[in-house]
Structure 1
């Protein structure tokens, strides 16, 4: 009896712990406090002290629109991504074969006797094969949002590496939007605004965390059955 209890007790505790765990693991979203990340600054070149008002590392022309050009500047991105993909495929295959033959001679049978046989002394065979296949694929994705990102690095050619994150929490659900890419500062509009179509190496991630996201996820038992089912 004691041996049975020793076997049942750990099993019961394991099942209880599994029941207390979340059925759906949260998506890989870091819900961090809304504090600014550390900003890496470029070292200022040590130039001669001339008594001037302008410095090489922080020089900004006085008579131009303010645009991002240095690490720590802000860039506003208008995210408008539309991806429409459509593919049609049609295949038709037809093949027909006919074979026919006749008996003109038989061993030990004279030709005169063979001519008196019924007219059904021909052999024929026919073969036909038809295949028709059609396929349609349609994919449509749209993403529309705005986000302000931070310049994290200035490349040697002057292009700006930007990265930004937006977290919106309502009740017990959190929506996280992350954006990163490389911007040509010549494409920036007044106010450091740019459309996402002019950003290179775009990475856009939109994920949710909370009860609403868990309600849309498949349970662990259903996922297990989908893994092993042969149908």
Structure 2
């Protein structure tokens, strides 16, 4: 009995220590740029070889540590509807009218009848709509051999006792980045977008740990 109580206590403690699963966003969230080679110092001319970027080079992100802005414009809608109907009926009749010269004369005049019917009807309908808009600046954390950029970023916002976390990552084709160094989230491949909050409101919407424990172990 004591061992059963100890096992139950350990299960409750493990359920209490359960935390939110780790983020699915590509890590790390930021990246330091690569060190630049030593360039000659300023010589007073208009063109400076020591400038961070060439004079006629655009400001779009392309190197490790560069930043770009992602415009989150996610608007998804999905619906499904099904309707099934099945009817089935069956009727069988048999009789024994003559058995001349055969045993079993007592079965003469026997009539056998059987009938059956079944009906099935099912309906199902589901709908889902999601809207998420906003902007976030991310950092290039890797450059693929074909030139595509792996970006990742996080934004934290705290208002009073409430905290909001927005995490975005994905693969960006530099050709889709516009002149303002921005790109729509619909053009980001392997996009992973997370929005989470913590605080009194978030805790009020979460099931208690003891209820989650019994919900996971009870078979009914």
One fold, TM greater than 0.5? yes
Matched, 1:75 2:68: yes
- 1:174 is aligned to 163
Q: 2:78 aligns with which of 69, 85, 100?
A: 85
CA contact (8 A) 2:85 2:121 kept: yes
How far apart, CA to CA, are the structure 2 residues paired with 1:89 and 1:157? 45
How far apart, CA to CA, are the structure 1 residues paired with 2:143 and 2:22? 27
- 2:44 is aligned to none
Question: What is the CA deviation profile of residues 204-228 of structure 1, one whole-angstrom value per residue up to 9, with x for unaligned ones?
Answer: 1111122222121111222233234
How far apart, CA to CA, are the structure 2 residues paired with 1:184 and 1:38? 19
Q: CA deviation at 1:38?
A: 4.9
Which consecutive unaligned segments of at least 5 residues does structure 2 have? 1-5, 24-28, 39-46, 102-107
Cα 1:80/1:150, change in 2 over 3 Å: same
Q: How does 1:145-184 map to 2 (within 5 A)?
A: 145-184=134-173
Cα 1:37/1:149, change in 2 over 3 Å: closer
CA RMSD of aligned residues (A): 3.6
Q: CA deviation at 1:153?
A: 2.0
Q: CA deviation at 1:26?
A: 5.9
- 1:191 is aligned to 180
TM-score (structure 2 length as normaliser) = 0.71
- 2:94 is aligned to 101
Cα 1:162/1:38, change in 2 over 3 Å: closer
Question: What is the CA deviation profile of residues 73-120 of structure 1, one whole-angstrom value per residue up to 9, with x for unaligned ones?
Answer: 221111111222222222222221111122312679xxxxxxxx9xx9
Question: What is the CA deviation profile of residues 175-227 of structure 1, one whole-angstrom value per residue up to 9, with x for unaligned ones?
Answer: 11111111111111111010001011111111112222212111122223323
Query: Structure 1 residues 97-106 or 170-179, which shifts more?
Result: 97-106
What secondary structure is seen at the aligned counterpart in 2 of 1:214?
Answer: helix
TM-score (structure 1 length as normaliser) = 0.68
CA contact (8 A) 1:88 1:137 kept: yes
Q: How many residues align?
A: 193
CA contact (8 A) 1:166 1:178 kept: yes
- 2:41 is aligned to none
What secondary structure is seen at the aligned counterpart in 2 of 1:105?
Answer: coil
